[in-house]
């Protein structure tokens, strides 16, 4: 696959993946997702590669979120029927059993913060800024932010960030447990690659097992599953088929479905 929105490079046993839409502050659109899926799948399959680093091109942003311009025209039914955002977890987080590091070089907002949190370790430049500002767009995190951020920094900080949309600087992010380390901006990539090289030098299977064990602490529980179910139910009540289905029941006739 030829990439247009990301760059990839192998440095010994480490794969470097760079988000490369600097004019859009590396906003994450469907093409970026498709290319990342391909790049992570190649990394996972390549026996010479033991760790990966993902970073953003340009000096300003890791990624400023999901691409708002792509999402603007989509309806709720489009998002639901495409299961929009699902592949980030199924095709990148779950499918990548090898460890990978996010080297956050600037804004990590919305989907950008969520992508960083999908990584096993976040190393931040001292210029990095993290946030879940989706509320300002009339929505909410969709790529795992409300779940992974809350587990990382706890309810107090997560609520504060999600409800106000404010940004957290690198120092606060380290203090809050969101990032493993903060390094000077101009040393970020070197530090990220150095940590990745250390991990890559470990016994590869032991590295994957260690990752799997730590991630086990993030497993879903029943309460979350029930909330998720209720929310999806509530979304379905916005469909034409809900109206038709209930009307058909009351009018004692068969329903006729539109699929949305």
- Residue 145 CB, nearest approach to ligand CAA (Å): 6
φ/ψ of 66, rounded to 5, equals -60, 155
The one catalytic residue in 106, 111, 112, 192 is 111
1 or 140, CB closer to ligand CAA? 140
The one catalytic residue in 27, 102, 110, 114 is 114
Q: Whose structure tokens read 């994957």?
A: 208
33 or 182, CB closer to ligand CAA? 33
The one catalytic residue in 35, 134, 174, 191 is 134
Exposure b/e, 98-125, CB count within 10 A at least 16 = b:
bbbbbbbbbbbbbbbbbbbbbbbbbbbb
- Residue 92 CB, nearest approach to ligand CAA (Å): 13
**Any catalytic annotation for residue 114?**
yes
Q: How far apart are CA 116 and CA 134, in angstroms?
A: 16
- Residue 114 CB, nearest approach to ligand CAA (Å): 6
61 or 123, CB closer to ligand CAA? 61
Q: What angle do CA 227, 230, 236 make, to 5 degrees?
A: 145
66 or 189, CB closer to ligand CAA? 66
Residue 65, Ramachandran bin (φ over 0: left; ψ between -120 and 50: alpha; else beta):
left
- Residue 142 CB, nearest approach to ligand CAA (Å): 4
**Any catalytic annotation for residue 111?**
yes
Contact 177, 153 (CB under 8 A): yes
Chain positions contacting ligand CAA, by CB under 6 A:
24-25, 27, 64-69, 107, 109-111, 114, 133-134, 137, 141-143, 145
Contact 178, 118 (CB under 8 A): no
Pairing of strands 14-19, 6-11: antiparallel
Give the alpha-carbon dihedral of 46, 52, 54, 59, to 10 degrees.
-120
15 or 146, CB closer to ligand CAA? 146
**Any catalytic annotation for residue 66?**
yes
Contact 99, 211 (CB under 8 A): yes
101 or 149, CB closer to ligand CAA? 149
- Residue 108 CB, nearest approach to ligand CAA (Å): 10
- Residue 62 CB, nearest approach to ligand CAA (Å): 10
Separation of first and last alpha carbons in the chain: 34
Contact 17, 36 (CB under 8 A): yes
Enumerate the active-site residues: 66, 111, 114, 134
């Amino acid at each position: 696959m030829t990439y247009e929105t990301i760059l990839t490079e192998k440095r010994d046993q480490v794969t470097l993946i760079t988000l490369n839409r600097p004019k859009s502050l590396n906003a994450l659109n469907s093409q970026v997702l498709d290319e990342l899926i391909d790049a992570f799948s190649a990394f996972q399959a390549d026996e010479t590669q033991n760790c990966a680093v993902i970073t953003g091109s340009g000096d300003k942003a890791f990624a400023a979120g999901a691409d708002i311009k792509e999402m603007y025209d989509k309806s709720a039914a489009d998002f639901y029927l495409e299961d929009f955002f699902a592949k980030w977890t199924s095709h990148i987080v779950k499918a990548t059993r090898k460890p990978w590091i996010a080297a956050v070089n600037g804004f990590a907002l919305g989907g950008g913060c969520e992508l960083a949190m999908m990584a096993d370790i976040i190393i931040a430049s001292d210029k990095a800024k993290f946030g879940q500002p989706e509320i300002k767009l009339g929505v909410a995190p969709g790529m795992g932010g409300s779940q992974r951020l809350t587990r990382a920094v706890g309810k107090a900080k997560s609520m504060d960030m999600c409800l106000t949309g404010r940004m957290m600087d690198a120092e606060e992010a380290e203090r809050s447990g969101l990032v493993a380390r903060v390094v000077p901006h101009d040393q970020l990539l070197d530090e990220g690659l150095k940590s990745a090289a250390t991990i890559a030098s470990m016994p590869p299977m032991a590295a994957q097992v260690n990752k799997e064990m730590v991630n086990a602490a993030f497993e879903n529980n029943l309460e979350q599953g029930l909330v998720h179910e209720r929310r999806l139910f509530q979304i379905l009540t916005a469909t034409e088929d809900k109206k038709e289905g209930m009307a058909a029941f009351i009018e004692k006739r068969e329903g006729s479905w539109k699929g949305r």
